[in-house]
Amino acid sequence: MLASCANAETGESAPAVTAEAAPFTTSEVATFEEPWAIAFAPGTSVLFVTEKAGAVKFIDTATGTAGTVSGVPAVAYGGQGGLGDIAFLPAEASDKLSGRTIYLSWAEMGENDTRGAALGKGTLVCASATACTIEGLSVIWRQTPKVTGRGHYSHRIAVSPDGKYLYIASGERQKMQPAQDIATTLGKIVRLNLDGTPAAGNPMAEKGGVTAEIWSLGHRNILGMDWDAKGRLWEVEHGPAGGDELNLVKPGANYGWPLRSNGEHYNGDPIPDHTADDGFAQPAAIWNPVIAPGDLLFYSGSMFKGWKDRALIAGLGSQALVEVAFDGESAREVTRYDFAKRLRSLAQGPDGAIWVAEDGKGGRLLKLTAR
């Protein structure tokens, strides 16, 4: 049932644990059309769900009451593009939904068939238990530059533990080389103030322009970011053919893409592997074959005592929930729970239950509770 440390380092697949042998029971709560992100409004039992084609919905997990959100932006839907992540500010935790800040990310059209990720900020206003709207939604950040293609937007949002900053995953849009170009924000993690401006103290703040936004670089397609109990930011990203990575994110660090990867190009062309002396930040764990990560969550609840301070990764291609343990700055996969469905997003509920959104049309919203 357990994968060794070598599994994480070499990328060997861990044996999958069936649902019957897992430490949780699974219940289906609702279904959605291509759910992409799920997040609880802090202080409430209300879970918000973004759907890729451009809808935001919610469900009160305590009562089962469901509702919709209007005032959502138009999105560039297609390929990997559409409505993305959703985030709230922990400092605004309240038992009332209305009046709190809401952040959304999405794929946005540009000129000449180009696209790029955008981040918007607005105020959530709820007229009833089943209807909310986003007032004053405005774009506060854009991926630079917009390029052709419909892949690798990333656009995950992580609010810092102190509530002062936004960390945005900005994929390299399948263009590779811009991940090493500090004149772009492609293939980067950016750190912003809550209004979308570059945060003071960023590693290249003195250079100005979009370079001042950069926190780390050399990323491919980040689809999960979260904070551990020590306040450290981690991310999980897709490799090419092989080489999915879990990384501890450090300011100014370069994670090597496309110059280093433990995978290879889809046409079989080799890419030099990460080595200790290559000058790049080293992944904490790699997977080959890939797990195709959809999201990352550090567990901080009490319902699953064995998961405390461990990470859970939603697997798309692997169709599994991947459990990861940590030792300092290294990580290892310990267990893989088979769901036989592509898993897109994760959230921890107020009671410590884990919520899982499946990927695709008719994706189910599942609640995992301890046996």
- Compute the distance between CA of residue 258 and CA of residue 274 in angstroms, rounded to an integer: 11
Is residue 104 assigned to a domain? Answer: no
Query: How many domains does the chain divide into?
Result: 1
Expressed as residue numbers, the domain containing 4 is: 1-28+291-371
Per-residue pLDDT at 18: 78
Is residue 285 assigned to a domain? Answer: no
Are residues 274 and 283 in contact, defined by beta-carbon separation less than 8 angstroms?
yes
Measure the CA dihedral 26/30/36/38, to 10°. -70
- Compute the distance between CA of residue 224 and CA of residue 346 in angstroms, rounded to an integer: 10
Is residue 172 assigned to a domain? Answer: no
Is residue 71 assigned to a domain? Answer: no
- Compute the distance between CA of residue 67 and CA of residue 53 in angstroms, rounded to an integer: 17
Convert the pLDDT of each residue in 119-157 to its tens digit: 999 999 999 999 999 999 999 999 999 999 999 999 999
Is residue 9 assigned to a domain? Answer: yes
Is residue 354 assigned to a domain? Answer: yes
Choose, from 152, 155, 238, 274, the residue flagged as catalytic.
Answer: 152
Is residue 323 assigned to a domain? Answer: yes
For the chain, give the percent of residues with pLDDT over 90.
94
Determine whether 219 is an active site residue.
no
Given pLDDT bands bounded at 50, 70 and 90, which one contains residue 14?
Answer: low
DSSP state of 344: E
Q: Is the pTM of this model over 0.85?
A: yes
13, pLDDT greater than 60:
no
Is residue 326 assigned to a domain? Answer: yes
Record the tokens describing residue 115, joined without a space: 């696209």
| Amino acid sitting at position 143 | Q
